[in-house]
Structures are given as C-alpha cells and as structure tokens.
Amino acid sequence: MNRPFGILVLVILVIWFVPGRAQTLEDMNQFRWQRKKPVIDSIKIEGNHYFSDGKIKSVLFSKRTNIIRAIKADRARRIQRETIMRDTSEVKYLYLSEGFLGIRIKENFVPLPPDSNAMVKIRIDEGRQFFYGTTNFTGHYNRGMFQSDFTKIMKDFKIGNPEKPVNPFNLRQAAYDIKSVLANKGFPYAIAEFNIDTSLSHNFGDITFHIESDSLVHFGNVLITGASNFRPSLVQRELAFKTGDVYRRDDIIESQKRLLNTGYYLTLRLSSMDPDTVSMMKRLNPEFILSLKEREPHYVSIKTGAAQDSIKDLIWSLSGSWGKRNFLRSRLLELTAQTSFVIFSEWRLMEHSYRIRITEPWFLGIRMPLTLTAQFEPGVRSLLQPYRKQTWFISITTTWYVNDRLKTVTGLQFENINIYGLSGEAEEQLRQEEGISVRRKLYINFVRDTRNSIFIPSRGSVTSLRYDYVGGFMGGDDSFYLLEGSWSRYQKIWPGWISATRFKGGFVQETRDGKPVPTDDRFYIGGANTVRGFSEGELSPESDLGNPVGADIIIIMNQEFRFPIIGKLWGSLFCDAGNGYRYRNDIKWNNLAVSYGAGIQFISPAGPIRLDYARRVRVKGIEPGYRYHFTILYAF
C-alpha cells in the first residue's frame, strides 16, 4: 500500500468511526444520567395549538417537583423508566379523543446544570382534526333484524356536526356493542370492525363498519364438574338457557349470577370449547363446561359484641348459628341462639331468644325464594323486673325477581306477646307505658330499578311502591294500612351535568274499627333526605304540647343538578318542596315548604359523602332560615 492511499484510508476511517463513537458515548452518558432518576425541574411543551400547556401538563405522568411532592416522595417528580411511555400515551389519548387522528409526539429529557436535574421536553405535531362524516355498514348480516339496533348504537354520534370531533375510542366501543347485539341474538362468532376515511381534503371522516354475522348458533349440552355436595339438577334449574335455545351471551352472564346467588358455590367458570378444535356441528351447537367449587354443606358462625346502654350500663351479646345448605336436597336450614348480659354494674342475663329459619329457593317451581322464620323469646324474670314478657313470632317472606330490573317482595308477620306475673290491670298499664303492642302485618313491595349506577346514576329511573296492611282480620293491637310510592329519574342534560328528579308520596290511615295509627308508624318529613333546610322530622305535625306526632299524608318533590368539580369532588344545586299533613283538607299549594341550596360531595368507595347548605323560602307558616346537612349518599 503506497503512502497517499494509506492516508486516504485513515481519513475515511476517522470520518466514519469517530462521530459514531462520540454518539455512542453520548448515548451511554445519557443512559447513565437517566438511571440516576434526576428530578424534573421544568416541563416544556412545543407545537401545541388546540390544548393549552396547562391542560397537557395536567394529564402527564411527569410532574414538576415541589416541596409537597418531595415530602411525599412522589415518583412522578423524577425521570422513570416508564416516563416517556406513560406521558406519550396520555397525550395521545387526549388528542385522539378530540379527533386528531394523526397526532405525533416526541419526548426527550434535557439535563439542566449545575445539579443535573431534568427538563422534560415534549414536541407535538397535532395534524388535522376530523369530525364525523357519513356512517356506512357493509358486510353480510340480516339488515332487517339488526339495523334498528345498530342505529340506536350510533345515535350518540353527531354525524355532520362540525363541533363533534371523531373519537376512535367511542367507535371501538360501538363496534363492541354491535358484536354484543349479534352475540345476544345467536351470532357469537360475528366480526365487527370500523374504518375512518381520512384521505379526503376536508376534515369530515366517513365511518364504515364492516360486519360479518357468521352462522346462527344454538346452545349445546352443559357438562358439570365439581358437583359433589349439591346435586347437578340444582345447577341445571339455575341456568337461563336450555339445550337447543338460540345462543345469547346475556343468558350466560345471567346463569353465572344465578348460580352465585344460590350460596352453594364459592367460584364457578362457564366456558365453551374452543370452536377451532371442534367439528362444524359442535361449532354451531357448542358444548359448555361448568366448573364449580362448592361451599361446605354445613357451617357454624359465632358473633359477639358489646354496646353501651344509658340505663343498663354495658350490655354484652353473644349469638351462635348452625346451618345446613342442602337440607332436604336444596333448602337452607339455620338455627340461631342469641343471648344478652348486663355486665360490670351487675352480672345477669337480660334476654335470650331462639330462631329457626328455612329458605326454599324455588317456591311453587318458580325462582322465587321463600323464607320461613320462627323465633321464640322466653323472657327473663329478675328482682328489677318482677314480670316476664314472652314473645314469639312467625314470618314468611318471598322475593320474586321478575327480571333484572323488577322485583317484588311479599311477606306476612304474625307476632304474639304474653306477660306473666302481673294482674290484668297492671298488665294493661305496663303495655301502655312501654308501648308494648302485638303486631301482625301483611306487606308487598314493588321495585323497578333501571339505574346505571347505585351511587352516582347518570341515566335510568327507580320506581317503588309499598303497601302495608297491619291488623284488621289478622288481629293484633294495631290496625291500619299504609301506601307509599316514589319515582326518581336521572339523565345527562349537558356534558358532565346530571339532572336528578324525584316525586314521592305517602298515605297512612287506621281501619274503621282500629285504634289511631301509632306515632312510630306515621311519616316524618324534613331533613337531609327529604326537604333540606329543616331538621329531621321538623315538617311533621305536632301535638298540642309541641311534640312531633307524625303525618298521615306526605308530598315530596326534589330537583337536583349534579356535576364534577375536580377529581372525586362533585358539586350540586337543588330545590326541594314538600310537607306532611294530618288530613286531606290540609293539602294546599301555598303551604308546601320550599328550600333551595348547593352542596359538595366527595365520592368515596362507600358512596358520596356530602355537605349541603339549604335556605328556606318564606311560605304560609314557615319563616326563612338556613341549615347545613352532613351525611353519606345522595338524598335520592
């Protein structure tokens, strides 16, 4: 090799190798620096126009360090291995939800002298924002059977609205809902996919759903495994489908719920065989395997506790139960003994009772659990209590689940109380002084609940109707009937805001030959859950001495608007109206109590914890004023 050629080769190697080597050293230094998890001093956003810097920073995993985050040792104040992935995912979700389908994001970390803290630098290329254009359905499916269902799914998409951006996540949910509709009408192998056409020059993206329904499927046989303590026939009767029925995914879910509600099983798994490994016949009539883990047929439970009593000092109670879950094949039998003692000030037995309960899960061959309960309380005689009060009662209760949203509860309670050790006159005086009365009641409740959430419903309604018949032909010391009805409605009125409306009424009256309705059985209105701005029971009629005696008739109307403030903190605006009356002639529009106010709620795992401020409106007989209410759960 001659000298000029060697020099040329050396120059080429230097030009080729040194920058690469320098880049490798720079990358290694950057990697070592990031492994030290430097503190984030600043966050810089570039290229954003639609969202402000503050909005983007609010969704980032990365957080600028401060004293509070340093004390809490918050991981987000330092560079982490997952920082870029979490930051870019959150920002992409934010932009995609607003129709920026071509969003591109680049994030890097810049060392800051002199202490080598970090600056998070995010560069955003927003691209075009797209809105909903036309919606088309292609593929092979029965349009006459499904088109109306698909139209309902798409009704929330504002087609052609220049203020409603495309949201691919909502479209993905719509595709899932379309598959669910197909699966609930016999097509579990259906495919539903969507495509957004962004090739046009304008910003309206046409949406196309491609649907392949595949073949109609019927339920095959169910193979039950793990049933040893309880007969397989008990499983079969809880299934919401039979062999040969058209396949419905909801039937599978309902069957699983029913089996768990029996109380016989700890866990269960209902799965179909892999359609790719079975014949075409089995694919169209899939067999299912139901794997069960049963509870023990017998159980024992012991409970104990102590409570303070203003008269008897400290009371300690103890109860024990023995149960058999497969009594007479499928009935639940439970025997319970309970006793209470007065302790410390004196040691003596205060009361003891014995109860037997039998539950028939399928009454009259219908999935309508019936429970028969009998309890006997012998009573205890002592020097401080020279008489003995013996009580026994029998109750029958049945619950009929008409469907997932409607249930009825019917029951009969028959009670008897005997007092020994007193003369007839003394016994009558004791019954009046202590309010001892024999209660016999027949009742029925209807509840229809279509809410999408128990704690914070945003759609649906609750309708309830209650009727109690006490005494009458059944005998007993009290004789009256009570009717109470309520209707609540929940709906979204604009983004984030929920309208909640309730109407409630009640009526109680003694029978022709009965005594006045007991004070405890009348209605009491006013307070945090009825008409706010008043104390509990303040709106109920009073006796001549000024003591609340309860109302025979109540009317309640509530309107509330609920909205999120930040995080788990919500707010509300409300208006309440209502009153309690003794007689029908007292009901007038000008004597309805009216209040209005605002509240804040913290949404805890146990439900909303709320603080309400309500002001009373001046009406006939009611002076203006205000009141705070602090409680848990919404008023309705």
The 10s digit of each residue's pLDDT in 214-271 is 999 999 999 999 998 898 999 999 999 999 999 999 999 999 999 998 999 999 898 8
pLDDT at 81 over 80: yes
Average pLDDT over residues 618-629: 90
Rg (alpha carbons) of the chain, rounded to whole number: 35
Residue 466 has a pLDDT of 97
Stretch (H or E) spanning 87: helix 83-96
Q: What are phi and psi of 241, to 5 degrees?
A: -145, 160
How far apart are alpha carbons 268 and 247 in whole angstroms? Answer: 20
Query: In this predicted model, what pLDDT tens digit does every residue of 433-463 receive, in sequence order?
Result: 777 888 899 999 999 999 999 999 999 999 9
pLDDT, one tens digit per residue, over 104-143 is: 999 999 998 877 799 999 999 999 999 998 889 999 999 9
Q: Using an 8 Å Cβ cutoff, are 206 and 133 in contact?
A: yes
How high is the pLDDT of residue 14? 42
Nearest-angstrom CA–CA distance, 130 and 162: 9
| Residues in a beta bridge with 578 | 556, 593
Confidence of residue 309 (pLDDT cuts 50, 70, 90): low
Q: Among the residues of 154-245, which ranges form H helices?
A: 168-183, 232-238
What per-residue confidence (pLDDT) applies to 384? 57
Q: 223 with 290: CB under 8 angstroms?
A: yes
Residue 276: pLDDT above 70? no
Which burial class, exposed, middle or buried, applies to 316 when counting CB atoms under 10 A from its CB (0-12, 13-18, 19+)?
A: middle
Angle between helical axes of 168-183 and 143-153 (0-180°, round to 10): 140
User: Tokens 């008023």 belong to which residue?
Assistant: 635
pLDDT at residue number 18: 46
| Strand 313-327 relative to strand 331-343, pairing | antiparallel
CB 627 within 8 A of CB 533: yes
Predicted local confidence at residue 61, as pLDDT: 95
Q: Which carries the bigger pLDDT value, residue 531 or residue 435?
A: 531
Q: Does the structure show a pLDDT above 80 at 346?
A: no
Residue 137 φ then ψ, to 5° = -120, 125
Relative to beta strand 607-616, strand 593-604 is antiparallel
For residue 314, pLDDT beyond 80: no
39, 50, 124: which is closest to 87 by C-alpha?
124
pLDDT at 383: 55
